[in-house]
Structure 1
Amino acid sequence: MPAPLIVSIPHRLGREEAVRRLKAGLTRAASSVPVLTVDEERWEQDRMIFRIRALGQAASGHIDVADDHVRLEVTLPWLLQRFAEVAQAAIKQRGNLLLTKKD
């Protein structure tokens, strides 16, 4: 099994505000990527469990929200592993915008 893609994004919002922003912003962020479809998005306290589909390939993972950072872990199928570096940079950039911009 391939190693998961892990992205950690620091923030200064506190856990509750970070969760609120993520709940409001993830679906919107996914809709701006034409090849990405969200199959499942389920929150269990401060963890979001998700399944996505891109280029006909399914990937699953979770996002854990802490007081000072957000940690995303996703397992990509072999075809999407080729795009892992690009995906990691894009996730980090969009996550930073979501967790640092003023509401």
Structure 2
Amino acid sequence: MSTQPIHVDLPHKLGKTEARRRIADNIHKLGSFIPGGGAVTHQWQGDRLDLDVGAMGQSVTARIEVEDALIRVHVALPGLLGMMAKPIEAALRAKGSDLLLEDRRK
């Protein structure tokens, strides 16, 4: 099965440690942003977060790499979900930082 890759870089000024903490605090919200809902499993590997998202009967794999001034988001959309690559990429660019880096300690 072919996949449609999405790569989005989200700049930040938080430093790696704070950005990683905020992503860890917010990742549970990801499923609510998926149309029709989605089941999300995740696992940290150092400063990389590996994700598996079940949505619309499909399994989507994603990776978030946390750097000092950048978050790199990589998503592989399988099959027909590949047709949604442009709107999903646009949504990640527009809302990705808000979703992933919101400070929940406030």
Contact 2:31/2:40, CA 8 A, preserved across alignment? no
Greater Cα offset, 33-42 or 85-94: 33-42
1:95 aligned partner: 96
Contact 1:41/1:51, CA 8 A, preserved across alignment? yes
1:12 aligned partner: 13
1:78 aligned partner: 79
Deviation at 1:9, TM superposition (A): 0.4
Unaligned segments of structure 2, at least 5 residues: none
Amino acid at match of 2:46: Q
Measure the CA separation in 1 of the matches of 2:46 and 2:37.
25
- Identity across matched positions, percent: 32
Given the two structures, how large is their TM-score scaled by the length of structure 2?
Answer: 0.83
CA RMSD of aligned residues (A): 2.0
Match of 1:62, SS state, is strand
Describe how 1:1-103 pairs up with structure 2 within 5 A: 1-98=2-99, 99=101, 103=106
Specify whether residues 37 and 101 from structure 1 end up closer, same or farther in structure 2 by C-alpha distance, changes over 3 A only.
Answer: same
Measure the CA separation in 1 of the matches of 2:43 and 2:103.
24
Deviation at 1:27, TM superposition (A): 1.3
- CA deviation string 1:7-59 (max 9, x = no partner): 11000000011011111112113224342423420011100001001111111
Measure the CA separation in 2 of the matches of 1:62 and 1:37.
16
Runs of 4+ aligned structure 1 residues displaced above 2 Å come to 29-36, 98-103
